[in-house]
Structure 1
Amino acid sequence: MRRPARSHPLWLAFVLHRLSGLALALFLPVHFWMLSLALTDPVRLDAFLTFAEMPVVKIAEFGLVFLLAIHFFGGVRLLALEWLPWSGPRKTAAAAAVATSFLVSAMFLLRAI
């Protein structure tokens, strides 16, 4: 009996890559708006930078870096699947992408705290 595609571990890699891309796409306009405050309203930018020093925001930054790393390494995994002769286990590549993403974002969090 064949398992449905959604129970396959690489389906989770597919979903993580799509969700991280969507979350990053939603974040970018807010990020650019905050950067524009440096030119248009420095007082509001200073207030936001004070807010950004809160521990909750630092943890949210960890999440953002994790999403970025997940999306990056998931994209590298997809490129490898498409362009390289691949004979090894693909589940290991997906797990390595998630583990590396977590490591990168954890190092960012430790540096930010």
Structure 2
Amino acid sequence: MIKPHRSHPLWIAYLLHRLSGLGLALFLPAHFYLLAMALNQPQTFDELLRFADNPLVKLAEFGLVFLLAVHVFGGLRLLALEFLPWSPRQKTMAASAVAAAFLVAGAFFLQAV
């Protein structure tokens, strides 16, 4: 049975912010490893760059930019909750944050394809 507070849109915003942070935290070590590979193993890095032209990798990049945008806009939402007075429009603001994140990630995806 779903607890009543877990069906609230702001709880979903909370969950998205935590999951996006976790996804970014898992991605960063791999990203730094690949950057180091560019310096130490340029041939292998070139092969990875060719692999990055794969449409599935482009889709994964969309997901990564979406996670980043969700995390940024979710963080802005949290700052607003802490520093601005409570407002009944918070549900709309949370939905707008997700929509803005999708817009940013979609623009990146369309440019990358």
- The TM-score normalised by the length of structure 2 is 0.95
Q: Can you list the C-alpha shifts for 1:24-50, whole angstroms capped at 9, x where unaligned?
A: 000000000000011110001000000
- Cα distance in 2 for residues equivalent to 1:87 and 1:8: 15
- Cα distance in 2 for residues equivalent to 1:112 and 1:53: 9
Q: Can you list the C-alpha shifts for 1:14-70, whole angstroms capped at 9, x where unaligned?
A: 000000000000000000000001111000100000000111100100000000000
Report the 3-state secondary structure (helix = DSSP H, G, I; strand = E; otherwise coil) of the residue aligned with 2:85. coil
Partner of 1:95: 95
Q: 1:4 deviation in Å? A: 1.6
Aligned length: 111
Structure 1 gaps, min length 5: none
2:53 is the counterpart of 1:53? yes
Equivalent position amino acid for 2:37 in 1? L
Equivalences for 1:11-50 in 2 at 5 Å? Answer: 11-50=11-50
CA RMSD between the two structures: 1.0
Share of identical aligned residues, percent?
A: 64
- The TM-score normalised by the length of structure 1 is 0.95
Q: Runs of 4+ in structure 1 displaced over 4 angstroms?
A: none
- Cα distance in 1 for residues equivalent to 2:69 and 2:110: 16
Equivalent position amino acid for 1:51 in 2? F
- Cα distance in 1 for residues equivalent to 2:58 and 2:87: 40
- Cα distance in 1 for residues equivalent to 2:86 and 2:14: 18
Q: Can you list the C-alpha shifts for 1:50-96, whole angstroms capped at 9, x where unaligned?
A: 00011110010000000000000000000011012242411001000
